Amino acid sequence: MKTITKILATTTALTIGTTAFAAETMKFGHVGAPGSLFEASVDNFAACVNGAMGDKVEVQTFGSSQLGKDKELLQKLKLGQVDFSLPSSIMSSVDDAFGIFEMPYIIADRDHMRRVQGAMMDKFQQAANDNGYHIVGLAENGFRNITNNVRPINQPEDLAGIKLRTPNGVWRLKMFQEYGANPTPMAFSDVFTALQTGVIDGQENPYAQIASAKFQEVQKYLSVTGHVYTPAYILMSKKKYDGLSDEIKAGFADCAMKTQDFTYEKAAELEASLLKVIEDAGVAVNDADKAAFVEASKPIYKQFADEVEGGQDMIDTVLGLANAS
């Protein structure tokens, strides 16, 4: 009997010891398709974390909405069913502060985005925290352009009556309503079929999302508008993040910074190569009249300033950083 008790005690001790040193598995869900910038960014972050902290944390990645669409992933973060997600435009539905990135042409380039990040990240982090989330770091979705099956879009009035898929964010809807389109919020994973079947006429996304989702197979026209730049957020629930050790938090922050550098370089490469992929698929490409779009966007800025607390100050701060040294 004593021998059996000793064996059981030893087995229990070994089990406890093994459990104590086992790496925690953390799930990173996102909506990006294979070959997308989202996939590249998430895989880069996971590889960094696993390489640096593989004995403590193992990040597993799940793309193509396997673990849910953007809205579902936000809910699953809070429920503890997913540990990370990479939302972009949908963050404007989480808190008004993120709506600043829905203002057309407010971000000039990635250097400008870095300055905005440096000056305003505390504000965005507080907005995330107030809603139960924590921003580990930033990546990007990119500069958005319009595809459709009706006509080339040169000026805002060319959008009149076009059924255009948008992400689920109030300011993107208002923007395209102002331009005269018929915006239709829809999950990214549903867009290809909706375009193929004619439920919608078009959509707007960066080249990386357009090409990886193969929208060029079901669209006739690509109009280079560059109307909105959307960051992406490496996001956790605040509860989950707060429960991490300082060492793991620091490791995540370091990998997030490295991933942002990687993402910006990768995005710049893809902008050139993927435009050719889209053109080679037979899509007609035109450069839109951006000055006309900027002029037509003035009412959206006014609405944001009037309706969002501190909205005008945010606009002034971001625009003021456009040409800062």
Question: What would the mean pLDDT of 17-41 be, rounded to a whole number?
Answer: 86
Q: Which residues contact 69 (CB under 8 A, 6 or more apart)?
A: 31, 187, 188, 189
- Please determine, for residue 32, whether its predicted confidence score (pLDDT) is greater than 50: yes
How do the domains of the chain map onto residue ranges? 2-317
3-state secondary structure 241-254: HHCCCHHHHHHHHH
What would the pLDDT profile of 176-223 be if each residue is shown by its tens digit?
Answer: 999 999 999 999 999 999 999 999 999 999 999 999 999 999 999 999
User: So what's the pLDDT on residue 8?
Assistant: 46
Could you tell me the fold of the domain covering 2-317? D-Maltodextrin-Binding Protein; domain 2 (3.40.190)
- Please determine, for residue 5, whether its predicted confidence score (pLDDT) is greater than 70: no
Please give the model's pTM, rounded to 2 decimal places.
Answer: 0.91
What would the pLDDT profile of 107-148 be if each residue is shown by its tens digit?
Answer: 999 999 999 999 999 999 999 999 999 999 999 999 999 999
User: So what's the pLDDT on residue 169?
Assistant: 86
Measured over the CA atoms of residue 100, residue 87, residue 59 and residue 249, the dihedral's sign is positive
- Please determine, for residue 24, whether its predicted confidence score (pLDDT) is greater than 90: yes
Sheet strand arrangement including 133-143: 57-62, 24-29, 84-85, 229-237, 133-143
CB burial string 136-164: b at 16+ within 10 A, e below: bbbbbbbbbbbbbebbbbebbebbeebbb
User: So what's the pLDDT on residue 14?
Assistant: 46
User: So what's the pLDDT on residue 3?
Assistant: 47
User: So what's the pLDDT on residue 65?
Assistant: 96
Average pLDDT, the chain: 93
- Please determine, for residue 23, whether its predicted confidence score (pLDDT) is greater than 60: yes
User: So what's the pLDDT on residue 44?
Assistant: 98
Residue 119, helix vs strand vs coil = helix
pLDDT band at 53 (very low <50, low <70, confident <90, very high): very high
Angle at the Cα of 143 from the Cα atoms of 74 and 296, rounded to 5 degrees: 105
| Dihedral of the alpha carbons of 92, 146, 264, 277, in degrees to the nearest 10 | 150
What would the pLDDT profile of 139-178 be if each residue is shown by its tens digit?
Answer: 999 999 999 999 999 999 999 999 999 998 889 999 999 9
- Taking the C-alpha atoms of residue 58 and residue 320, their distance in angstroms, rounded to an integer, is 41
What would the pLDDT profile of 269-305 be if each residue is shown by its tens digit?
Answer: 998 899 999 999 999 999 999 999 999 999 999 999 9
pLDDT band at 323 (very low <50, low <70, confident <90, very high): confident
- Please determine, for residue 7, whether its predicted confidence score (pLDDT) is greater than 70: no
